[in-house]
């Protein structure tokens, strides 16, 4: 019997500062659309709309993230099943929730004006910073605390599904 358990992983993007400005530029090209208590997100914008930040992620971040996650967890491979961004302006929040139909969810911190604004994951403490992608089981309840800062919190979130483990 092979037992594998992954609760939380943090991957720091190499040379993140060179990518940060580009991600913000591409995110803010998308028309501002509110969803619940989040000021700006592409969650409900039609999937047919071009999302240049996704293209930029795939060209500049994906391979390093994928290689690291697969190696550390002995995954053979995985697929990204959905990707979206969220801009939390002052007063914005995201209630606790889970992500069905996914193995893991990820939060990529693009702009994090205060460490107190990192994603709250039930029963797990973590120490993330701008440029980090935090990966955790999609069934873990998580949410975003109220942004009490003048600066927005900006994240890219995405779900992944594992194809199989490498050494079965």
SS3 for 22? helix
- HEC per residue, 82-131: EEEEEEECCCCCEEEECCCCCCEEEEEEEECCCHHHCCEECCECCCCCCC
Q: What pLDDT was estimated at residue 88?
A: 98
pLDDT in tens, 105-122: 999 999 999 999 999 998
Q: Which pTM does this prediction carry?
A: 0.93
Please give the pLDDT value at position 163: 84
Low-confidence ranges of the chain (pLDDT < 70): 1-6, 165-168
- Measure the CA–CA gap between 128 and 108, rounded to whole angstroms: 9
Q: Which residues contact 18 (CB under 8 A, 6 or more apart)?
A: none
pLDDT for residue 164: 74
């Amino acid at each position: 019997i092979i037992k594998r358990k992954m609760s939380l992983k943090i991957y720091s993007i190499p040379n993140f500062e060179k990518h940060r400005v580009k991600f913000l530029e591409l995110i803010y090209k998308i028309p501002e659309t509110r969803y619940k208590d989040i000021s700006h997100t592409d969650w409900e914008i039609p999937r047919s709309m071009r999302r240049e930040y996704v293209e930029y992620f795939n060209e500049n971040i994906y391979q390093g993230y994928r290689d690291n996650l697969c190696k550390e967890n002995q995954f053979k491979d995985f697929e990204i099943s959905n990707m979206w961004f969220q801009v939390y302006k002052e007063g914005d929040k995201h209630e606790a929730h889970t992500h069905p139909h996914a193995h893991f969810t990820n939060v990529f911190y693009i702009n994090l004006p205060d460490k107190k604004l990192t994603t709250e994951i039930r029963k797990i403490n973590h120490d993330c910073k701008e440029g980090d992608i935090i990966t955790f089981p999609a069934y873990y309840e998580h949410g975003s605390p109220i942004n009490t800062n003048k600066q927005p919190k900006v994240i890219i979130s995405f779900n992944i599904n594992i194809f199989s483990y490498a050494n079965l």
